[in-house]
Structure 1
Amino acid sequence: MSRYTKQDIIRMIQDNDVEFIRLQFTDIFGTLKNVAITANQVERALNHQCVFDGSAIEGFVRMEESDMYLYPDLDTFQIFPWGSQSGRTARLICDVYRPDGQPFEGDPRYILKKVIRQAWDMGYTFEVGPECEFFLFHTDDNGMPTTITHDKGSYFDLGPVDLGENARRDMVYNLENMGFEIDAAHHEVASGQHEIDFSPNDALKTADDIMTLKLVIKSIAKRHGLHASFMPKPKSDVSGSGMHINMSMRKDGKNVFYDPADELELSPDAYHFIAGLLAHARGMAAVTNPLVNSYKRLVNGDEAPLYVAWSIMNRSPLVRVPAARGEETCVELRCPDPACNPYLVLAVCLAAGLEGIKEKMAAPARIDRNIFHMDRDEKTALHIEKLPLDLWEATRELEKDRFVCDVLGKHVSEKYIEAKFKEWDNYRVQVTEWEIAEYLYRI
């Protein structure tokens, strides 16, 4: 049941002097798209009469089947708080449909909705809280981004050392004006690196909010003369940016991951959910870490996980159970980065966890030592696997994991795998500055 009716949307547009509405949707690679309409076209949009060319969107459809329709989700209506107070701009997040009125199987939002329905049928709701990291960089004289950082701050620094403080405060202010409940905002480890976290919510709203958060951060950074980048590893000599996701399941309003009778205060469902995540971690990697650049963050010494294991508190494994218990009990997946498509990431994570619960999969023994300090023999003895080392290996693992491919669906899995192999090939043939410096003189 929607909070808003069509009449509510029309009234809010009139009452708030909204002139433009962005009808937003996301492609399979996590890029936010939109069709902009004027306020006098809003009734057509609300009646599902807005058409766009799906063949122009990478990974959508062929030229001969290009017409696609946008179905706005009325509850996502938001007025952008920045900009002029007259002639304002609003947005509606849309689902993508075919001309026959059927949901488009290549719409990432539809894929997440399908898995959410599976959880609902089992009596569960899925809640997620993300931790989004990003860099603020200077721009050059042409307005193009550089990798010159905005400050020399480090973890939890404050102004005047944290020169991004004003921009970050402005981001938080605008996000709260759009209904976000911000849990924390702070400087991260690397110079120019920041993090903004918002409160957990149901999975679909969280995925929508991640896309909105990135848009707001980029828009406000630009107003401060800066460029916000969610690239996982923009500089080789500093920490990369992750997007840890904290997940919990509820049934009848209660957190089903919590069990006070257990030694670790975790329920059987929590252990099974963890087992499902670990079982498909390598197959999900091309989704959680979708770029060539993603795997330059997943390296030793960068506090990013490399190993398919789980623990309590210990931050070196892939999956961690934070200290909070009771209604705040959650499972944290530490590998995703902010370049990912949040709809697809949450879909595959939820599906993997549900499979673990349905099949009553047993979680492996937890690893409480720092895996980075173990030698190869110790890791082999404990059956600790590594995440894929690069995008090629990750895409091969996705191709082999029929379960993950089935979650994505035939259309998306085939398009996605094809695109990621192409991305790897384009990268593989490049001659880098490192190679020139390493080989040209001495060979």
Structure 2
Amino acid sequence: MSSSVPDADDLTESLTRQGVRVVAGWATNASNLVHAKSMPVERTAAFVAAGAGMSPVHHGYSLDGSIQLTPFYDAVGDLRMRLVPEGVRVLPGGLAAGPTHVVTQDGEPDPTAPRHVLAEMVDRLAAAGLTARVGHELEFVLVAPDGSALPHAAWTPYGLSALVDRSALIGEIVDVATAAGLGIEQVHAEYGAHQLEVSLAPETPVAAADSVILLKTVIGIVTRAHGLAASFSPVPFASTVGNGAHQHLSLASEGVNLFDDPAVTTPHRISTRGGHAIAGVLDGLIGAQAVLTGSIVSGRRLRPGLWSGATICWGAENREAAVRFLAGGPSNPHGANIEAKLADPSANPYLASAVLLGLAHDGIQRRLPLPPETVRDTGQLDDADRARAGLSLVLTDQGAILDAFTGSVAERVLGERAAAALIAVRRHERDAFAGLAPEQLCERLRLTWSI
């Protein structure tokens, strides 16, 4: 979504010419809920300069609509959502939308805001001479508008028949997304019934996370027009496969990809610092699960054999590994990168990218050695096989996941304010929903992360 910064008055004129009547600006929170304010298009310049008011407690909204307070915010005070002009995109229905800078009334960045947390992480990488690019994949399940399951239909995993059946919907998603400036890399049917995946082109980290919110908005608009809804729950139905939100990351120094250094002769041409980065992600993964897979339903997706990255290891094109390595070359024109397979759609994309990049940065700083590559299908291993191979699984219990966050690298990356907000909303989920049976829990949260 990145582009040059337009003048606010020029932006207003351009939006008006394109038939825009209302401009919306969004902000996200630790629950990965997307909040927004809107203004008539004539007030776009004011939206950019002064912003719209927002209570600080927006950070504490939980999945059931309740507010979880921390020592850093309560009902007193006000934040401003200042529209990011270069991020505004035109959508159907006379609507334009874009991200906002969340700031204090004095214009200082709000340290709890997920977008600011990621921007700070990008700055820390830059101070170390590193640049990053991130590409996101969005998996979702089509459901009825009320969230109920669609009638059973023949569904071939990754099949052409599903694309034929949903060609009008898929075509409209691509058209609306492309018109909004999104780089759609591919769309395909996923493993589960009525499950689709859309992949976005890699961008700088903040722009890439902005694109996730915009694409979810596009999908929400188009599915509504087709009499459907899209579930972005990690586990929409208790008896089926879940949705992932995989992130592809690359790091470069002076224009050289750390995961594809032509001066290196080691396997896959991973540089020394690239190896440190992968090691850092693996080393800090358990502590990062509160961000990546921290919701009350996330653990149900994390099982070997489901390609969810449940085994803490890395390997080239190993879809069972928590970190899948993708080599550069003719089949991968974007260049070598690592795919973090653990993340799911309950994870805030800004915070998830910040944490993954922070783990990589930590590995480089501490010069962690790259563990041996795992070339086996770890989904076929039993507990004894894993023990002999020195492999372990990620956590699946939400309480254990939240406990592991304390004192972790991920907690330091978020900072005390954003970390407190995250723990507050996630611990509330455990208290509020723990008594529900799996089927009830999945039904209750099926459309919670939808737009």
Q: What TM-score results when the alignment is normalised by the length of structure 2?
A: 0.89
Higher mean C-alpha displacement, 12-21 vs 126-135: 12-21
Given the alignment, which residue of 368, 382, 386 partners 1:379? 386
Q: Which residue of 1 aligns with 2:147?
A: 145
Q: Which residue of 2 aligns with 1:53?
A: 55
Residues 281-296 of structure 1: matches in 2 within 5 Å?
281-296=285-300
> What's the CA shift for 1:344?
0.2
Given the alignment, which residue of 152, 171, 192 partners 2:173? 171
Q: Which residue of 2 aligns with 1:78?
A: 89
Decide which structure has the larger Cα Rg and report it.
1
Does the C-alpha gap of structure 1 residues 20 and 154 become closer, same or farther in structure 2, counting only changes over 3 Å?
same
Q: Secondary structure at the match of 2:401?
A: helix
Does the C-alpha gap of structure 1 residues 248 and 49 become closer, same or farther in structure 2, counting only changes over 3 Å?
closer
State the Cα deviation string for residues 170-216 of structure 1 (Å, max 9, x = none). 11111001111211111111110001112111111110001111111
Q: Give the aligned residue type for 2:368.
A: M
> What's the CA shift for 1:160?
6.8
Higher mean C-alpha displacement, 324-333 vs 191-200: 324-333
Does the C-alpha gap of structure 1 residues 358 and 203 become closer, same or farther in structure 2, counting only changes over 3 Å?
same
Asked if 2 retains the 8 angstrom alpha-carbon contact of 1:2 and 1:74, the reply is no
Asked if 2 retains the 8 angstrom alpha-carbon contact of 1:297 and 1:304, the reply is yes
State the Cα deviation string for residues 333-377 of structure 1 (Å, max 9, x = none). 111112210000000000110111122111211111122222333
Given the alignment, which residue of 19, 22, 27 partners 1:20? 22
Residues 371-410 of structure 1: matches in 2 within 5 Å?
371-401=378-408, 403-410=409-416
Determine if the alignment matches structure 1 residue 352 to structure 2 residue 359: yes
Distance 1:21 1:294 in 2: 33
Q: Give the aligned residue type for 2:79.
A: M
Distance 2:16 2:351 in 1: 35
State the Cα deviation string for residues 41-75 of structure 1 (Å, max 9, x = none). 22321222432233355258644533111222111
> What's the CA shift for 1:311?
1.0
Distance 2:287 2:162 in 1: 44
Q: Which residue of 1 aligns with 2:5?
A: 3
Does the C-alpha gap of structure 1 residues 332 and 33 become closer, same or farther in structure 2, counting only changes over 3 Å?
same
Aligned pairs, how many?
Answer: 425
Q: Give the aligned residue type for 1:417.
A: I
Distance 1:44 1:414 in 2: 32
Q: Which residue of 2 aligns with 1:200?
A: 202
Does the C-alpha gap of structure 1 residues 191 and 5 become closer, same or farther in structure 2, counting only changes over 3 Å?
same
Determine if the alignment matches structure 1 residue 364 to structure 2 residue 371: yes
Q: Give the aligned residue type for 2:299.
A: Y
Distance 1:8 1:43 in 2: 9
Determine if the alignment matches structure 1 residue 132 to structure 2 residue 138: yes
CA RMSD in angstroms, aligned pairs only? 2.2
Q: Which residue of 2 aligns with 1:439?
A: none
Determine if the alignment matches structure 1 residue 319 to structure 2 residue 323: yes
Q: Which residue of 2 aligns with 1:209?
A: 211
Distance 2:163 2:128 in 1: 50
Distance 1:155 1:49 in 2: 45
Determine if the alignment matches structure 1 residue 106 to structure 2 residue 117: no
Q: What TM-score results when the alignment is normalised by the length of structure 1?
A: 0.90
Determine if the alignment matches structure 1 residue 429 to structure 2 residue 435: yes
State the Cα deviation string for residues 83-134 of structure 1 (Å, max 9, x = none). 2xxxx22123101111222111110000000000011111211101112111
State the Cα deviation string for residues 225-273 of structure 1 (Å, max 9, x = none). 0111111111233321112111101233332221242222211122111
State the Cα deviation string for residues 285-304 of structure 1 (Å, max 9, x = none). 11111322111111233222
Does the C-alpha gap of structure 1 residues 131 and 220 become closer, same or farther in structure 2, counting only changes over 3 Å?
same
Q: Give the aligned residue type for 1:420.
A: R
Higher mean C-alpha displacement, 284-293 vs 9-18: 9-18
Distance 1:215 1:191 in 2: 22
Higher mean C-alpha displacement, 424-433 vs 111-120: 424-433
Does the C-alpha gap of structure 1 residues 377 and 412 become closer, same or farther in structure 2, counting only changes over 3 Å?
same
> What's the CA shift for 1:25?
1.3
Asked if 2 retains the 8 angstrom alpha-carbon contact of 1:258 and 1:327, the reply is no
Asked if 2 retains the 8 angstrom alpha-carbon contact of 1:129 and 1:246, the reply is yes
Distance 2:221 2:152 in 1: 16
Distance 1:186 1:115 in 2: 32
Which structure has more relative contact order (CA 8 Å, sep 6+)? It is 2
Asked if 2 retains the 8 angstrom alpha-carbon contact of 1:22 and 1:89, the reply is yes
Distance 2:47 2:396 in 1: 45
> What's the CA shift for 1:395?
0.7
Q: Secondary structure at the match of 2:268?
A: coil
Does the C-alpha gap of structure 1 residues 433 and 412 become closer, same or farther in structure 2, counting only changes over 3 Å?
closer
Residue identity over aligned pairs, in percent, reads 23
